[in-house]
Amino acid sequence: MTPRRTLGFALIAALAIGPALAGAEEDRYEIRFARQQADGTREFLAGYEADAKAAGEFMQEDLVEVRQYLEGQIAGWDRVVSLYKDGKADEAKMEFDKRANIAPNLWKSRGRIEQRRRQQDATPTEMWYTRELENLPAASLAPLEAWCEARKKYAESIGELAKVWMPESTDTQIREVADKVRQLQVEAEIAEWTYRWSRENADLLRDRNLSPTVNEKVSAVQQTEEQLNQIRRQRAELERKWQQVEQVRREQINAANKARDAAVRARDEAQRELQKKPSQ
């Protein structure tokens, strides 16, 4: 397992160590934790830089922003250590709490790399366009242009998703942009199908005067193709609604877990209070 993958587990494990002890013990725990986060983030940044370099031009602008962000996180954790060593426990605790809430979400920075790779794959290239022009029927030129434009819009939307994919972004912010990406992905798929179908139909109509029946059959095919496109859009809308409802369920499960935990704490506290009372 690479250091970049192990970082996420390390961050979560560190947060799950348990409640900090009081007084000096708490200080020592938080200093150890802060040092661990600073070192882990340095490893994460090194891995991110290597992956960004391999991803090419799409990642260069992101690399500057993410490096600045992660270096700020590292400096923050180093500041926590310095403040505790200087005896400024209250100020150090504030800085610690601010950083600890972000630490488990550092993996979102890596989401940028994945989205940029998607963007790179989705972006139409001159080589791709030239290849599609080979032996292209005249009737298929407009569908090809439409597919090219749909791919551009889809790729640009993935770029917008990459920009919002940062540790401090909420799941709602990411989901809103991701919904737009999915919609444009569907339109790009439909545009591709329409283009490829147009080539098949052009081949069927190559000898238009051969038989009127051929023209009628191809017209029927084109009507069916439009039905398929409508069904694909409807399916995409149902998938979007399913994801929205499924997200509501996850939030409800989280709320139920919090309510259960709160009830358990209240019960345990009540039992401890009873044990403190002298027996009658």
Whether this model's pTM surpasses 0.85 = no
CA of residue 260 relative to chain centroid, distance = 30
pLDDT at 25 over 60: no
Together in a domain, 199 and 127: yes
Together in a domain, 253 and 194: yes
Alpha-carbon distance of 81 to 36, in angstroms, equals 11
Q: Residue range 186-193: average pLDDT?
A: 96
Closest CA relative to residue 186, chosen from 223, 145, 229: 229
Across 115-119, 171-175, 180-184, 211-215, the highest mean pLDDT is recorded for 180-184
Cβ contact 178:158 at 8 Å: no
223 is in which domain, residue-wise? Answer: 123-275
Which amino acid type is present at position 203?
D
User: Count of domains in the chain?
Assistant: 2
Structure tokens at 243: 């994801």
pLDDT of residue 243: 87
Tens of pLDDT along 74-125? 998 999 888 888 888 888 888 888 777 665 566 667 778 788 888 989 999 9
- Other C-beta atoms closer than 10 Å to the C-beta of 31 total 18
pLDDT of residue 111: 77
Q: Where are the beta strands (DSSP E) in 117-231?
A: none
Residue 220: inside a domain: yes
Alpha-carbon distance of 182 to 242, in angstroms, equals 13
pLDDT of residue 277: 74
Residue 115: inside a domain: no
Q: How many Cα atoms are found within 13 Å in the side-chain-facing hemisphere of 119?
A: 22
Residue 117: inside a domain: no
- Scan for tokens 């339109």, then name that residue: 187
pLDDT above 70 coverage of the chain, percent? 83
pLDDT at 200 over 70: yes
Tens of pLDDT along 207-247? 666 677 888 888 899 999 999 999 999 999 999 899 889 98
Q: What is the CATH number of the domain that holds 82?
A: 1.20.120
Together in a domain, 143 and 67: no
pLDDT of residue 166: 77
Together in a domain, 162 and 244: yes
Together in a domain, 50 and 170: no
Alpha-carbon distance of 35 to 265, in angstroms, equals 31
